[in-house]
Structure 1
C-alpha cells in the first residue's frame, strides 16, 4: 500500500513517509518493551521484594516517558506528512485532470471525479495521520511482547508465536472475502453520487413535467442499491471480525491453561506465570482492533487504487521538441477520428488561408463540433494531421497552442465570481482599461449598467444569475480580451432571442475581424459571408465552396438553405 501511495504522489515524498513509518514502528516497539519491564517489576512486588522492584519501577517510568515522546513525534510527523500529501495529491490530481483529453469527461465521470476528489482523496490521505499508526501498533507491539515472552519463558512464548500466522491468515481471508462486496459498494456509491447531481441539475425538467412531489425513481433505485451493497459489505466482514475475536480469546485461554500447567508442575513460579499472563493480555486489545483498522485500510486502499488508475490515464502527449508556428493558416489533411467503434470524422481534407473564415454546416451528428475539438486538440486524430501554419498541432506545446486559439461555445460556463473575474480568464494580466474595452466591444457594458453591483455583480455557479445571451456576451468579451489569432465558434447564436442575437452578432463580428475563423452554425444566415463553406455529412465533406457557388450547384447546402429560408407554416 505504501508503494502505491508513493506511486500516486511521486517518490520525492518517499523520505518523509519512510521517516514517519520508522517513527511509528519505533513507538510500537518501545510500547512493547515498556510492557516487558512489567515482568521483573511485578515478579518482585508479588514476591514481596520491594527493594528489587524500585529500579524496575524507575526503568518502567523512564520507558513510558520515552514511549510518550516517541508517540508525540510519530503522531506529529503523521499529521504533518498527511497534510503535505493531501495538498500534493490535490495539486497533482488537478494538474492531471487539466491534461486529460476532453473526450475522457463522459457524463458518468462527474459523479466519479466528484466522489474521488472529495471523500476519496481525504480517506486515502488520512492513512498516515489516523490509520497507519494504530495499525503498526496493533501488529508490532504484540510481536514485541511475544519476543519478550520467548526470552522469559520459551514454552509460553512459543505458544503465543504459533498464534501469529493464524491471526495473519484470518486478516488475509477477511480482506479477500470483503473485496468483492467493497468494490460493489464503491461502484454503487459512485452511481448514487451521479444520480444526486443529476437530480439537482434536472430540477427544471422534473418540475416542468409536474414531478415536484413524487419521488425520483432513478435516484431512489440508486440509493436503494447503495443501501443493499453497504449491507452486503458489512455482512461480508462480520465472519472475519468474529473469527478474529474468537481466535484471540482462544489463544488467551490456551496461554492461561499452559501457564497454570507450568505453575502446577513447578516449572515456573505463580508470580512469573501471572506476570507473563499480564503480558499476554496486553496483546489482546491491539489484536482485536486489527479488524476495524483493517477495514479502514481496505477502504483507503480502494480509494488509492481508483486514484492510481485515474492518474495512470494517459494525457495527450506533449512534443519533446515543440515547434512555434509563425503563420495561422489551417489545414485538415485526410483526418480520421474514431470514438470507440464509431467513425466521427472520415478522411476529411480542408484548407483555410490565414485571416479567412470557414463555416462548417451540416446535419446533427455530422462531426461539426468534433472538428473544432480536434483543431483545439481536445482529442488527437487517429490518422491524418491537423496543421496550423504548416505545423502539426501535436508538435505544438499545449499552452502555446491554446494561446493561439479563442473558443466561444454554445453552452457557456461561468465561474461563481464577478463578471470582471470571468472576463479576465481570457488574459489575467490585462489592464482594467483592456477589460472594459473588451466588454464594450461585446455589448456587455449595457448589461453591466443595469446590474445592481455593476462589475462586482456575482454571476452565480455556472453563470445562472445571468441569461443565456448575457453569458454569451461574457464569453465573447473573454475571447476578445484574449486576442488570439484563431477563433473557433460553435453554435453561438442558436438559442438566443432576437435582441440578444443581434448584440452577440455585433460582438462576434468584432471578434472575427482580421482573424482566422472556423465557425459551426445551424442558422445558415450567419455563414453566408464566410470565405469558404464546408457541408459535412457522416464525417465527410459532401460539398464545399462559397455561399453563392453552393447555391448555384443546387446540392445539399442549397436544400438546407432553402429549408432555412422557408417561413414557418401558420398555426
Structure 2
C-alpha cells in the first residue's frame, strides 16, 4: 500500500527543507496572495456599492466620495499585489528548484559511473524533465493557492460571523465543499489514473531514449517504421490516460461552478433579507456583497484541481528519495601541495567486487601493485574485469572489500580531486559541438593559449589542423563527426595531456581503427605519456613493446605478470596469444 503524501512529506529531505530555508519569502508570497484576492473582492464590493448609491442620485458627490477613492485604491492594488505575488512566488520556486537540481547533480555525482548503471537515461531524463517540474507545480498550483484559499476562507467566515452566526456556518459549509470535500474526493477518484499516466510517461521516456540512442541500428536493420509504430503506441497509451484525467477535471470544474453559484445565491438572499430588515436604505449593500463574491472564484476554484495532482507530486518525491543523498559534511580532500607531489604509485590490496545485479564476483581477494612511471598492459578475456578494474581505480565503483590507495592515500580522500589525479582516454571520448580548441581546453580551463596549442601539437594534430580553413577554431560538430576516429582520439589525447595527471588510464582507445592508424596513435600516446603511470587496457598484444609490464587477468586473479620479454620467453600461454596477434 502506497504511503500518503503527508506521511512521505514528514520524511522528506528534498522538498520540505526549503519551507524553512525560504520561510520569510514564503510568508511574503502568501500575504501578497491574500492581498491580491482581498483587493479584487474589495474592488467589486466598493464598485457595487458605488453603482447602487449613485443610482439613488445623492444630493452631494461627497456622499460617494469614499467609495470612489476606495474603488481606485483597490483597482490599483489588485494588479500591483498580483504582480508582486507572482514575482515572489516564482522567485521562491526558482530558488527551490535550482537547489533541488543542484542537489540532484551532486547526488548523481557521488555515484558517477555507478549512477549510469543504476538508472536508465530515461529515468534521469524523467526526473529532470518531469519530476522536478511536478515539484515546481506543487507549490505554484497546489501549496500556494491552497494556503491563500485557507486564509481567505477563515477571513470570510469570521467576517460573516460578525453579521450572522448561522449564515457564517452556512458559508463555512459551502466553501468547505470547495476547499476540503471536493479536493479530497478528486484525489480519491483520480489517484489511480494519475499513477498510471505517470508510470506510462516514464516508460515512454525510457523507450524513447533507448530507441534514439540506437536509432542507427533501427534504420540499418530496415525496421525504422517499427520504431515509429512502437513509440506511437506508447504515446497513445499516455494520451488515453490524459484524456481520462481531463474528463474528470471538466466534471470537477462543473461541480465547482455549481457550488459557487449556490454561494452567490445564498449571499444574495441573505444580504437582501438582512439589510431589508434593518433599514431599506441599506439595500445598496446587496450589489456590493454579491459582486464581491465573484473574484473569490479565482481563489477557490483552482484548489481542487491542484490538490487532485498530489499523487503525481507524491510519486515524484518518492523517486527523488530513491536517489542517494549527498552528505552535508565537507568532503575529505587533500591539499594542492600533496596532489603536486603524487608519484602515481597504485596499491590494490585484498580487493573483492561483485555487481549488484550479479551473484558471481568479478574480483576476489585481488592484489596488484603498479609502480610510479610504469606502463602496465592489462589483458584478459571479455568479462574478466579489465574495465571494471579501471572504474574501481577511478573511484567510479566501490569495492565490496579491500582497498585501493594512490601513493598511500585512500580514494575516499582523493575522490573530490580525482580529475587532477587520473586521466582517462577511453574507447569513445565525447567531443562537444564547439571548436577543436575548446574541446582540448576542457582538460584544463585555466591553461594558457600557449599550453593548449602545445598539447594539440604533442597529440600529433598539426597536420590535421594545417588542412583546416579555420584551424583550431574549426567546429568538431556533434559527437566529433567532423573528424575521423583516429583524429578524435588525438583530440582526446591532447585534452589528457593538458590535464597533466600523474596517472592515465587508456581503455582500448584503438577499437575500430585500422592497423596503421592504431600503431601511429599508440606511438604518439606512449611517447607523450612517458614518465607517467599508465594503465593500458587492451584486448590484444599488438604494440605490446610499449608496455613495461603485462598483467593477464583470469577469474578475478592475476594469471600472468611480467615484462613482455620475460613472458615471451617462458610463458606458453603468452606465446600463443602473441602468435595469434602477429599472424
Alignment of 1:84-483 (within 5 A): 84-85=95-96, 87-106=98-117, 109-118=120-129, 120-121=131-132, 124-125=135-136, 138-141=149-152, 143-167=154-178, 168-213=180-225, 215-235=227-247, 237=249, 240-252=252-264, 271=283, 275-294=288-307, 301=313, 305=317, 308-309=320-321, 312-314=324-326, 319-320=331-332, 322=334, 324=338, 326-342=342-358, 343-399=361-417, 401-483=418-500
Deviates more, 1:490-499 or 1:69-78: 69-78
Tell me the matched-pair count. Answer: 563
2:551 maps to which of 504, 512, 534? 534
Cα distance in 1 for partners of 2:119, 2:485 equals: 25
Structure 1 contact 145–279 (Cα < 8 Å) conserved? no
Q: Cα deviation per residue 1:361-411 (whole Å; 9 max; x = unaligned)? A: 111111111111111111222210001111211122522x32021110011
1:518 partner SS? strand
Alignment partner, residue 15 of structure 1: 24
Cα distance in 1 for partners of 2:167, 2:101 equals: 50
Deviation at 1:331, TM superposition (A): 0.7
Deviation at 1:68, TM superposition (A): 3.9
1:69 maps to which of 77, 80, 90? 80
Deviation at 1:274, TM superposition (A): 6.0
Structure 1 contact 521–527 (Cα < 8 Å) conserved? no
Deviates more, 1:158-167 or 1:285-294: 285-294
Structure 2 contact 455–498 (Cα < 8 Å) conserved? yes
Deviation at 1:545, TM superposition (A): 3.1
Q: Cα deviation per residue 1:183-238 (whole Å; 9 max; x = unaligned)? A: 33233223323333333332322222123455544423332332233234435555
1:487 counterpart = 2:518: no
TM-score (norm 2): 0.83
Cα distance in 2 for partners of 1:30, 1:564 equals: 84
Deviation at 1:417, TM superposition (A): 0.9
Q: Cα deviation per residue 1:481-505 (whole Å; 9 max; x = unaligned)? A: 2221111110111221123212211
Q: Cα deviation per residue 1:56-108 (whole Å; 9 max; x = unaligned)? A: 44334434434443333323333444555555555554454444331111385
Structure 2 contact 183–304 (Cα < 8 Å) conserved? yes
Cα distance in 2 for partners of 1:462, 1:16 equals: 44
Structure 1 pair 453–115 and aligned structure 2 pair: CA distance change class (3 A):
farther
Cα distance in 1 for partners of 2:164, 2:301 equals: 24
2:538 maps to which of 511, 518, 521? 521
Cα distance in 2 for partners of 1:424, 1:404 equals: 17
Deviation at 1:40, TM superposition (A): 6.4
Structure 1 contact 439–477 (Cα < 8 Å) conserved? yes
* Unmatched tracts of structure 1, length 5 or more: none
Alignment of 1:39-58 (within 5 A): 52-58=63-69
Cα distance in 2 for partners of 1:144, 1:31 equals: 15
1:328 partner SS? coil
Structure 1 contact 101–315 (Cα < 8 Å) conserved? no
Supply the RMSD in Å over aligned alpha carbons: 3.8
Deviation at 1:467, TM superposition (A): 1.9
Cα distance in 2 for partners of 1:466, 1:7 equals: 49
1:381 partner SS? coil
Structure 1 contact 330–389 (Cα < 8 Å) conserved? yes
Cα distance in 2 for partners of 1:159, 1:250 equals: 11
Structure 1 pair 513–110 and aligned structure 2 pair: CA distance change class (3 A):
same
Deviates more, 1:464-473 or 1:164-173: 164-173
Structure 1 pair 257–346 and aligned structure 2 pair: CA distance change class (3 A):
farther
Deviates more, 1:327-336 or 1:195-204: 195-204
1:525 partner SS? coil
1:179 partner SS? helix
Structure 1 contact 442–506 (Cα < 8 Å) conserved? no
Structure 1 pair 493–250 and aligned structure 2 pair: CA distance change class (3 A):
same
Deviation at 1:507, TM superposition (A): 1.9
1:458 partner SS? coil
Structure 1 contact 344–539 (Cα < 8 Å) conserved? yes
Deviation at 1:252, TM superposition (A): 4.6
Structure 1 pair 467–197 and aligned structure 2 pair: CA distance change class (3 A):
farther
Q: Cα deviation per residue 1:321-340 (whole Å; 9 max; x = unaligned)? A: 64746442111111122221
Structure 2 contact 486–521 (Cα < 8 Å) conserved? yes
Cα distance in 2 for partners of 1:526, 1:322 equals: 37
